[in-house]
Amino acid sequence: MGGEGAMSDMNVRMKSNRTLLKRRSYFELKKEYLNVMRSEKMTFKMVSKKELAIVRQKIKEKHRAERKREIVILSFLFVLGLLIFWGLWVLVKDSL
């Protein structure tokens, strides 16, 4: 029957227009965000310089351990890749 495409198109447009009406604009979201930020005061924990140095040292140690682990894994993968390449090269060389 004729007109079925036009009917479904009309329904799709009506649904999309409804969702556009429900959607909040950028300015409304920004206004709401600023109101919330004004009402809630952020509190920061006061830390002495000694405690801060301890935290920094722990972070540095953690990064060193992660770096060592990455180097070991990458070295292992590099050696494994070389062995695989060498093995394939030997197989190809022998077949010729």
Q: Which residues of 24-49 are buried (b: 16+ CB within 10 A; e: fewer)?
A: eeeeeeeeeeeeeeeeeeeeeeeeee
Q: Report the predicted TM-score, pTM, of the whole model to 2 decimal places.
A: 0.47
What is the mean predicted confidence (pLDDT) over 58-64? Answer: 97
Domain ranges (residues) in the chain: 1-43, 47-96
In which residue are the tokens 């009402």 written? Answer: 39
CA angle 18, 30, 38 (to 5 degrees): 135
Alpha helices, DSSP H, located in 1-48: 4-22, 26-39
Interval 13-53: pLDDT, tens = 888 888 878 788 888 888 888 888 887 777 778 999 999 99
pLDDT band at 81 (very low <50, low <70, confident <90, very high): very high
